[in-house]
């Protein structure tokens, strides 16, 4: 607890002493934050205090995003900085730095082979998973709707503790706790934003042949210390199976885009999904999902399973953020109990 307190004090001091930054200094800060593995929440909180002296453009943000170090909150904060700096002068040319060795991308032929292997892996993913149970903890936050270029004022909504069962390739969610209080409420009936389909359906939606996703090489990155190949992708609305539902029952199936981080074994380490071209009349205005996978042991075997997801949405009523973590994976049995300390 003491260490956590010190970290929070340091973050608060940095925010309080924030000064105006050039785009070059902003990029340097972002690279430093990535090396130090600062949290998405802390980076976004600092960026909310920054005032730029120059215009931040989409190209710079995309270059930062290609490193794989941007969380969804950080990305939103950078978009806000971009909008707030649109009337500022162009950034000054950067002083040329010593060139660093750059790993060349795979050839076009090799990229095609890699994507074919990843597609086979993604389509067989759910069939290769065992039946299991895990604990999902979802920290939900909300914020009033903000104008373009503004920063959301997040406040905690609640914390949901869920027993997630994966049996015969189907997911079942049983809500156990709301803010550490035992509940008998049905998970789907609980108000607020919710996410489903972390175990395979998201990957399948990207790589299924009928989706006809268009992939492009997007560079190298590091995910939890592992070197990863990054591919961007786009899925047209006519081929989409990605569904966004509003609480009154209305739903849409939008086009979507994102990125996929793949390790040397052609296994997926991270995916992002961003809804595109949402109809103006629909109450949800934006939706961005980031899902991270890592290796977990179940019955002495290792599987690549979700460990963290973040879903950020904006609607006519405001904004919502769901930070979910997955713990305590173990083999499924009908009489398995989940205990909490």
Residue 79, by phi and psi: left (phi above 0), alpha (psi -120 to 50) or beta?
A: alpha
Minimum mean pLDDT range among 18-27, 142-151, 281-290, 292-301:
142-151
Judge whether residue 43 has pLDDT over 80.
Answer: yes
| Residue matched to tokens 């649109």 | 86
Q: Which two tokens stand for residue 51?
A: 């005032």
- Confidence label for 2 from pLDDT (cuts 50, 70 and 90): very low
Q: Output the six-digit token pair for 156.
A: 């905690």
Band (pLDDT 50/70/90 cuts) for residue 335 is low
pLDDT above 80: residue 47: yes
Which of 26-30, 151-155, 210-214 has the largest mean confidence?
210-214
Residue reference for tokens 């090489």: 217
For the segment 205-233, what is each residue's pLDDT rounded down to a tens digit?
A: 899 999 999 999 999 988 888 889 999 99
Mean per-residue pLDDT of the chain = 82
Asked if pLDDT for residue 258 goes beyond 80, the answer is yes
pLDDT value at residue 161: 94
Highest mean pLDDT among 152-156, 185-189, 288-292: 288-292
Looking at residues 258-282, what average pLDDT do you find?
Answer: 92
The predicted structure's pLDDT at residue 190: 82
**Domains recognised in the chain with CATH numbers:** 2-84 (no CATH), 110-331 (2.50.20)
For 90, counting Cβ atoms within 10 Å of its Cβ (0-12 exposed, 13-18 middle, 19+ buried), the class is: exposed
Query: What mean pLDDT comes out for the span 315-319?
Result: 88
pLDDT for res 200: 67
Q: What is the pTM of this model?
A: 0.73
pLDDT given at position 278: 94
For the record, the structure tokens of 181 come out as: 């209080």
Answer whether 201's CB lies under 8 Å from 291's CB. no
**pLDDT over 90 at 79, yes or no:** no
Residue 250 pLDDT level (bands cut at 50, 70, 90): confident
């Amino acid at each position: 607890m003491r260490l956590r307190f010190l970290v929070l004090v340091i973050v608060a001091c940095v925010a309080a002493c924030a000064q105006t930054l050039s785009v070059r200094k902003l990029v340097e800060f972002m690279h430093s934050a990535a090396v130090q593995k600062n949290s998405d929440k802390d980076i976004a909180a600092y960026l909310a205090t920054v005032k730029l002296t120059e215009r931040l453009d989409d190209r710079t943000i995309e270059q930062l995003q290609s490193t794989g170090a941007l969380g969804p909150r950080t990305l939103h904060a950078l978009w806000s900085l971009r909008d707030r700096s649109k009337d500022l002068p162009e950034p000054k040319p950067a002083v040329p730095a010593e060139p660093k060795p750059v790993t060349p991308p795979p050839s076009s032929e090799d990229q095609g082979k890699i994507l074919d292997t990843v597609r086979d892996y993604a389509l067989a993913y759910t069939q290769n998973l065992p039946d299991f149970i895990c604990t999902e903890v979802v920290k939900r936050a909300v914020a009033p709707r903000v104008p373009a270029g503004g920063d959301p004022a997040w406040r905690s909504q609640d914390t949901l503790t869920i027993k997630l069962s994966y049996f015969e390739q189907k997911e079942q969610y049983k809500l156990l706790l709301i803010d550490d209080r035992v509940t008998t409420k049905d998970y789907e009936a609980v108000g607020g934003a919710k996410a489903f389909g972390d175990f395979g359906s998201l990957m399948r939606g990207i790589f299924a042949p009928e989706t006809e996703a268009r992939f492009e090489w997007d560079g190298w990155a590091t995910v939890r210390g592992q070197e990863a190949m990054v591919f961007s992708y786009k899925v047209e609305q006519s081929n989409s199976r990605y569904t966004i539902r509003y609480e009154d029952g209305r739903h849409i199936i939008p086009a979507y885009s994102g990125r996929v981080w793949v390790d040397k074994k052609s296994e997926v380490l991270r995916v992002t999904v961003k809804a595109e071209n949402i109809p103006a009349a629909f109450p949800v205005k934006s939706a961005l999902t980031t899902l991270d996978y890592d290796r977990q042991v179940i019955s002495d075997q290792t599987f690549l399973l979700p460990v963290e997801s973040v879903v950020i949405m904006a609607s006519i009523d405001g904004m919502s953020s769901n930070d979910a973590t997955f713990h305590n994976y173990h083999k499924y049995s009908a009489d398995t109990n989940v205990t909490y300390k």
